[in-house]
Homo-oligomer: A and B are copies of this chain.
Amino acid sequence: MGRGRTLEYPKTAINKVNRYNQRATYDLEQIHSIINTSSVVHVSFNTPDPNNPFPVTLPMVGVAASYEHPSASLGEPLDIYLHGYVSSRLMNLSRDANANANANADAASTPPTPTPTPTGLPVTISATKIDGLILTLTPNTHDINYRSAVVYGYATIVTDVAEKLWAMEQVTNSVVRDRWRFTRLPPDNAEMQSTSILRVSVVGGSGKIRVGGPRDEQKDLVRDDLRDTVWTGVVPVYEHLGEPVPHKENRVKDVPAHVLEYVKDTREANAKYAADATVDQSQD
């Protein structure tokens, strides 16, 4: 990977953010960071049913990571690993997509092309974090500070056992940092069978970010009657982690350090981002 260079998803007709370009980002690090700080992502895909014009959307746990380059940073190309269940529609469709691709490959009498057509189920993955409510002089200028990421790619079921185990570790640690190694390991055969992991080979993505305070129009800012009566400002919004609540079956007296530290760090990072986002940025 190039060093000192910011990698971006290519702008195409599909992912180009048409409105509010000042808020658009194609920066891999920003987009992957939004996904990895979201506990749940939304996964949208189409069913083969010709009578269903609606994309299906499922909430899933997702994490951006690279099995081939495990030390890759968030600013480098990553796959998205999704955690789900073998019986779900998404898993079945991904399995069908794989099977069709393999069947086509088997049936082909010509050798495989060097750049094969993508296989797997086309999916769009989205995640949004709310950072503040923008209160202004007039309804139209009201807004929301937020960070939103959308990536799309082809989903296939992970069949390699080593990759699957690795991905399960990434998924678990995306819920609570470093949690995996403090649990009963490894997953047994029944657990490996009942769990499915999807790997999405990302082909593109984009993000939208809104930061800063109110942006009222000059026509309203010159009116003393408005300025003297309408409060304007930002209500910061952030995900807060409460005090850990032990389960009734729990026997370990103290909440372990990896949980306490995760709660503390996440609280601070979330509150800080929302506070920083209330301030107008010079380049914005």
Contact = CB atoms under 8 A, between A and B. Distances in A.
For chain A, the bracket of interface size reads 35 or more
Contacts of A89: 18
Contacts of A169: 139
A46 interface: yes
Given A40-B128, A139-B183, A176-B235, A214 B249 contact: yes
A124 B54 contact: yes
A14 interface: yes
Interface in A1-23: 13-14, 18-20
Interface string A40-66: 101011110100111111110100000
A169 B244 CA distance: 39
A20 B58 CA distance: 13
Given A19-B85, A138-B187, A187-B140, A244 B251 contact: no
Interface centre among A88, A176, A240, A263 (most CB of B within 10 A): A240
A223 to B, nearest CB: 8
B271 A220 contact: no
A42 B40 CA distance: 13
A60 to B, nearest CB: 10
Contacts of A226: 184
25 contacts: A19-B87, A19-B88, A40-B130, A42-B44, A42-B128, A53-B122, A54-B122, A54-B124, A59-B148, A59-B208, A133-B175, A138-B187, A139-B169, A184-B223, A184-B230, A213-B245, A213-B248, A216-B249, A231-B250, A231-B252, A232-B246, A233-B247, A235-B263, A237-B242, A239-B240
Interface of A: 13-14, 18-20, 39-40, 42, 44-47, 49, 52-59, 61, 85, 87-89, 122-124, 126, 128, 130, 133, 135-140, 142, 144, 146, 148, 150, 152, 168-169, 172, 175-176, 179-180, 182-185, 187, 191, 194-195, 208, 213-214, 216, 220-221, 223, 226-252, 254-256, 259, 263, 271, 274-275, 278, 280
